[in-house]
């Protein structure tokens, strides 16, 4: 990664320039058997489409607060980078009633309905599938995002010193987030080409760092595992071998 990168969006652009074809996020849901692998290019395309949805259709602006009510999931990672691309504060697990927008999974819709701004729902079905019946009062992400543009340009430059992420009582600017991600990558021993398996949840900085930001900062990739406790005995060892995992943060 470039030493001049000061926002998560910068990190993604550097990853895209270095090797767009390499895997960035490999996601497993061990409750459903789902496996999804996204290259840097594919992940960046999802981020661009989501950022266009956020900035255009949802009229989000830098400094707006988005309550992100999603579990550790590849689509959650996309939303984190989309928020960073627009300059929106991703408030992970935040109070929807105090947010400008909310993005919710299927299990938190009642809570998310307290938001008075734009509301987006994700079914979190395999391959990014839509809801069989769209939730009342919510835009279905899987319906709205495919038609969005594949290239994204923010209306205003993202300020590295502006708040970018809130999680677990900690609020970080974009530059501070990048700095902590680099520190964590070094502490974990991650380098370009490393494969980090993470079974941590996304409700803390440690989970977000291991499950996305530290690998991104190091030019590494993450094997993100949800419901890893559902694996049969010996399953984690087999996955570690098959996915060529070099580091673990389970």
Residue 157 — pLDDT band, cuts 50, 70, 90? very high
| Between 3 and 29, residue with greater pLDDT | 29
**Domains by residue range for the chain, with CATH:** 8-249 (3.40.50.12780)
Average pLDDT value for residue range 171-180: 98
In this structure, the chain runs to a length of 250
pLDDT in tens, 115-140: 999 999 999 999 899 999 989 999 99
Average pLDDT value for residue range 46-73: 98
* C-alpha to C-alpha distances, 139 to 60, 172, 231, nearest whole angstrom: 15, 28, 33
């Amino acid at each position: 990664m470039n030493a001049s990168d000061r926002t998560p969006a910068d990190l993604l652009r550097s990853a895209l320039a270095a090797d767009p074809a390499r895997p960035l996020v490999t996601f497993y849901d061990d409750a459903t058997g789902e496996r999804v692998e996204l290259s840097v290019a594919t992940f960046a395309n999802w981020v661009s489409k989501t950022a266009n949805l956020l900035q255009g259709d949802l009229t989000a602006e830098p400094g707006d607060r988005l309550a992100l009510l999603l579990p550790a999931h590849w689509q959650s990672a996309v939303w984190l980078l989309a928020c960073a691309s627009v300059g929106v504060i991703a408030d992970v697990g935040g109070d929807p009633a105090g947010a400008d927008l909310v993005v919710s999974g299927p299990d938190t819709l009642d809570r998310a309905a307290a938001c008075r701004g734009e509301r987006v729902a994700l079914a979190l079905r395999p391959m990014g599938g839509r809801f069989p019946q769209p939730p009342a009062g919510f835009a279905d992400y899987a319906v709205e995002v495919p038609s969005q543009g594949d290239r994204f340009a923010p209306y205003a430059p993202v300020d590295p010193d502006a708040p970018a992420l809130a999680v677990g009582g900690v609020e970080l600017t974009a530059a501070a987030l990048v700095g902590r991600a680099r520190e964590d990558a070094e502490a974990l021993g991650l380098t370009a080409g490393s494969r980090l398996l993470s079974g941590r949840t996304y409700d803390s900085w440690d989970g977000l760092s291991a499950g996305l930001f530290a690998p991104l900062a190091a030019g590494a990739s993450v094997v993100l595992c949800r419901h890893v406790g559902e694996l049969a005995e010996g399953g984690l060892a087999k996955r570690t071998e098959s996915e060529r995992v070099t580091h673990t943060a389970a």
